[in-house]
Structure 1
Amino acid sequence: MISLLIKLFYTFFYIGVFTFGGGYAMIPLITQEVVRNGWVESTDILIDFIAIAESTPGPFAVNIATFIGFEQAGILGAVIATFGVVLPSFIIILIIAKLFTKFSSNKYVQGFLKGIRPIVPGIILSVAFVFILRSVFSIEDLQFSDFTFEVGSLAIFLIIFLISKFWKKAHPVYIVLISAALGLIVYGLF
């Protein structure tokens, strides 16, 4: 049990240290580490975890760490994994807050910040592309064998896209609730 708690802490600390750009940018590393450690049986289950983490209040990375930690080692695992993912950001923000005003005009700091800006949307788009392929087209690991077309997921995606496009002031909670309702309708719970 102790070794599992140490592994949870180390894994989520590692994720917290080596990802920039928030929760969505963490998804590829979370996926790699959680699957590698055998904490989820398949990427489909991880996608469900991610959907739950995104649908609940709080930061995405904290929610997914808490969820995985709880699944692996109960409440103590949830606390350890959450602490692991939060600690690097806490330490880095303390350091930045102390030093940023002193170094914000430094050309190397400016170069670093300009250099990482394009990475974040690229990572987010990459994750979105993979999720669309997995959810809408049932393509696992980008291998196009056994290609099936998921009409229901595509319909939900298009409806939510159109709602978001034309209802600019829609609160994200409404979008999530509409998505959930559409999922219930399309997949036969009503």
Structure 2
Amino acid sequence: MKNIGLYFGTFNPIHIGHLIIANHMVEYSDLDEIWMVVTPHNPFKKKNSLLDNHHRLDMVYLATEEYEKIQPSDIEFRLPQPNYTINTLAHISEKHPNYTFSLIMGEDNLKSLHKWKNYEAILEDYNVYVYPRVSEGIVENQFKNHKKIHRVDAPIVEVSSTMIRNAIKEEKNCKPLLPFKVWKYIDEMNFYKK
């Protein structure tokens, strides 16, 4: 049975940090594939700051097309909004009964996991793979020794989509922080310039 890691994000835009983490997770854990789940609306983010769903999905396709074990997913586009992770997990598990699904998240998200809708059910039925974040420090909470939480010693990448959007707005060269085809797409579409 394939073990699929679900890496949720608005990917506004997807950048090299996302790819480094996804690739490390699939190469250095027991995950067989990573699905980059493009989130149409994160309940904790303002919707008006997001590019249209199809543009963010297109960028994830462009960024992952050369990675055999990393796939884009628009599964949440067809679910009621705003959506919650527990709903997506139930839907995707029902749709793909021959796969095992796990969550991938940064240590910063682990700190707030107890605020997620039905987080207890998530931890009962799904494994969570956590990558470190320098700015957040070590999580010392109720999840420290949880049997479903697996810390992966992934490279620490301090690149953010917010930083990239701001750099583009300020007319800075951020080409090294983006997969080339994503940078080209953003440049040709004049995204994030205002």
Same fold (TM over 0.5): no
The structure richer in strand per residue is: 2
The higher radius of gyration belongs to: 1
The structure richer in helix per residue is: 1
Instruction: Provide TM-score, normalisation by structure 2.
Output: 0.25
Instruction: Provide TM-score, normalisation by structure 1.
Output: 0.26
